[in-house]
Structure 1
Amino acid sequence: MRAIIFDFFGTLTDPAAEAHRRASFAGTAAALGIPPAVFWAAMAGSFPERVVGRHGGTRQTLLTIARRCGVEPTPDQLDAAVTAQLSGAERVRPPRPGALDLLDRLRAEGWRLGLISDCSSELVEAWPTTPYASRMDAAVFSWEEGYRKPDLRLYVTAAQRLGVAAGDCWFVGDGGSREHDGARRTGMRPVLVTNAAWPEAATLRTDPDPYRPGSVIDDLAELPAVVAPG
């Protein structure tokens, strides 16, 4: 085994931050002049489209969603909405306690590190400035690729960018988007992070993976013992 590929939200990020996702859209709704509940419903309903890049970047996406809500924003409103949206997105991606130190440790041990994330434009646009980017040898985003987990092409692409065979990769995630089954079918070894200390986070996974890997940990801090050779 030569590489470890991580899911992002709820795996490398703080699981507790998932509870702020709805509130993170409030500033955007205000900037656009859309009632928060209406804007949230439109954004939640459009996730399958947004996550594969169907509406383009954040600015174009917000314009599309505003029009769906019956609002034609001015350029200034749209500028303010983009700023609010990107700021709100930061609230749901703070690192899990200890995650950055863990990534540094794994790289020091010689592991190639990768990422596969089902995400919309906000993460991709901000990625170079995040503390995760410099710690990853390859990052694969559904928004850029045009398809989402468990599409096998995402896993194959991640392995290729890491320069390793899929069978030489661990895949670590909290179980949304049927991600472990996709990893298994690609030949990777999946590890489930249950986030047992954050039971509320599981309620936000609307498409849990019916496949349960043989390797299960409650917290990311337990990962080194799982991937250790021998």
Structure 2
Amino acid sequence: MRAIIFDFFGTLTDPSAELLRKETIQATAAELGVSPERFWTAMAASFPDRIVGAYGGTRDTLRTIARQCGTDPDDERLDRAVATHRKGAERVRTPRRGVLAVLDHLRARNFRLGLISDCSSELFEAWPETAYAPRIDAPVFSWQERIRKPDPRLYATAAARLGVPAAECWFVGDGGSREHDGARWAGMRPVLVTNAGYPGVGGLRTDPDSYLPEHRIDELDELIRLLGPSHDNG
């Protein structure tokens, strides 16, 4: 095994931060002058299209969804909404406890590290400024690729950019979007992060896997032990 490919939300990020998602989107609605509940419903309904780039970037997305909700914001109001939305997105992608140290450990052991994320424009646009970016060799975003998990092309793209055959990659994720199904179909070894220590977040993943991986860890730092002593510097 030469490479590890991670899911992003709930895997590299603090799973508890997912509980902030509705609050942050409703703050955006307030800036747009849209009913918070109506805006939340519209954003949720548009998720499958937003994560494959159908609405464009964040600014265009917010304008489109606001119009669907019966409001046409002017540029000044839209500017404030975009700033609020990006600030909220930053809160939702807070790193989980110890994750940066885990990534640094794996890189020090010469593993190639990748990412496959079903994400909308906010993550793609902000990625270079995140703490994750210098630690991930090959990020693959559904928004940029215009396809979502478990499409095998995402996994093939990640492996190709890492320069590692799929059979020599592990895929680590918290489930949802049938991501572990996609990983095994691609020939990778799936690892489930159960997030057992984060009550209340288990039901937040959409389109859950029908497949339960053999390898399961509760917290991400357990991945180092799962790899075995030959990969652990103590």
Q: TM-score, normalised by structure 1?
A: 0.98
Amino acid across the alignment from 2:31: A
Q: Within 5 Å, which residues of 2 pair with 1:51-66? A: 51-66=51-66
- Separation (CA, whole Å) in 2 of partners of 1:24 and 1:162: 34
How far has the Cα of 1:199 moved from its partner?
3.0
Aligned to 2:29: 29
- Separation (CA, whole Å) in 2 of partners of 1:18 and 1:72: 29
How far has the Cα of 1:27 moved from its partner?
2.1
Aligned to 2:164: 164
Aligned to 1:46: 46
- Match of 1:21, SS state, is helix
- Separation (CA, whole Å) in 2 of partners of 1:112 and 1:172: 13
Amino acid across the alignment from 1:94: T
How far has the Cα of 1:23 moved from its partner?
0.3
Sequence identity (%): 65
Aligned to 1:121: 121
- Separation (CA, whole Å) in 2 of partners of 1:12 and 1:59: 26
Aligned to 2:213: 213
Aligned to 1:14: 14
- 5+ unaligned residues in a row in structure 2: which ranges? none
How far has the Cα of 1:175 moved from its partner?
0.6
Residue by residue, what CA displacement relative to the aligned partner does 1:124-149 show, whole Å, maximum 9, x if unpaired? 00000000000000000000000100
Q: TM-score, normalised by structure 2?
A: 0.96
How far has the Cα of 1:201 moved from its partner?
1.1
Amino acid across the alignment from 2:186: T
Aligned to 1:84: 84
Q: Within 5 Å, which residues of 2 pair with 1:127-142? A: 127-142=127-142
- Match of 1:124, SS state, is helix
- Separation (CA, whole Å) in 1 of partners of 2:94 and 2:141: 18
Aligned residues, how many?
A: 230
Amino acid across the alignment from 1:115: L
- Separation (CA, whole Å) in 2 of partners of 1:157 and 1:20: 31
- Separation (CA, whole Å) in 2 of partners of 1:52 and 1:216: 29
- Separation (CA, whole Å) in 2 of partners of 1:50 and 1:200: 25
Residue by residue, what CA displacement relative to the aligned partner does 1:57-92 show, whole Å, maximum 9, x if unpaired? 000001110110011110111111111110110111
Worse-superposed segment, 203-212 or 150-159: 203-212
